Amino acid sequence: MKTQLIGDIVIDRIVEAEGAFADFGFILPGATQDLVDANADWLAPRFIAPDGKLIMAFHALVLRTPRRTILVDCCVGNDKDRPLRPTWHRQQTPFLDTMRAAGVAPEEIDIVMCTHLHADHVGWNTQLVDGRWVPTFPNARYVFARREYEFWEAEARRAKAEGMQEPPNHGSFDDSVLPVMEAGRAVLVEADHELDHGVWLEPAFGHTPGNVNVNVRGGGRHALLCGDTMHTPLQLCDPGLSSAFCEDPAMSARSRTAMIERLADTESILLAGHFPTPVAGRIVRHREAFRLDTGD
């Protein structure tokens, strides 16, 4: 992704992994081959591979404002026990080195903002040090939407009380969220919280109960960091398609549709949590729905 300049706010991307991830029907159970074929002229091969697998990325976005350095979403992380997702299980990636190469040291992060608390958005919240999970960004304040945190805290409690063999979210609440809270580094906020001047949250409930988007505005420009409100550009062809991982598919569809319709044919830049290179683009109306215009 090219560096995005939103007024005096600089947005860069830190990639953990990228490639053909899974069949489109696995990610979007309601999607059809006819829908893919009808939009292959702009979806393939950038967003969908010849074998039908979606090209996806796992990345974080770094926002550098004149006052703060903000990290949005934290990917899968290293050393995490994720046996049900073999590609995530105890993985070893150079994520922190990649971040340093982009000119940002972990110690320089002032705010970590997780759009939601799924395992692939919280992993680098913590790292394994001497057998303990400790906050990766020692000087950061970790910001969680209160509604989101309270839902997953209750789910984790219920799983323990019922002796569930597989904890919710692959156990990520215990190894990537709770240690931050116990270290006193976390703060719970409402879904419209302002992170910094020109950077604020908006509710986008449905994918998870407290899912939020991050708005960035400055110098007459606007960007929306939408996390998993939309997983793949294929959803622009039918905004009603929710992912297999949405807690409330109907609400997710409403949030996504409202977002798309609001941004369509404007100059706003969309930055989604799993869009592959080049990531950034404008939503434009196309045929009976929409497409992503990446400007190339």
**8 Å CB contact between 56 and 276:** yes
Helices (H), 39-118: 40-43, 95-101
In this prediction, residue 286 carries a pLDDT of 96
Instruction: For residue range 73-94, list pLDDT tens digits in order.
Output: 999 999 999 999 999 999 999 9
How high is the pLDDT of residue 267? Answer: 98
**Res 268: pLDDT:** 98
CA angle 10, 13, 15 (to 5 degrees): 165
Beta-bridge partners for 201 = 214
Backbone angles phi, psi at 162, to 5 degrees: -90, 0
24 pLDDT band (50/70/90 cuts)? very high
Spatial distance between the Cα atoms of 107 and 69, rounded to a whole number of angstroms: 10
Domain ranges within the chain, ordered by starting residue: 4-293
Higher pLDDT, 296 or 190: 190
Residue 13 · residue 46 · CB < 8 Å: no
For 123, 126, 134, 135, the CA distances from 131, given in Å and listed in that order, are 16, 12, 9, 13
Is 4-293 CATH 3.40.47.10?
A: no
Bridge-based pairing of strands 221-227 and 269-272 is parallel
Give per-residue pLDDT as tens, 92-131.
999 999 999 999 999 999 999 999 999 999 999 999 999 9
Per DSSP, the three-state class of 96 is helix
- Tens of pLDDT, residue by residue over 215-268, are 999 999 999 999 999 999 999 999 999 999 999 999 999 999 999 999 999 999
- pTM over 0.85? The answer is yes
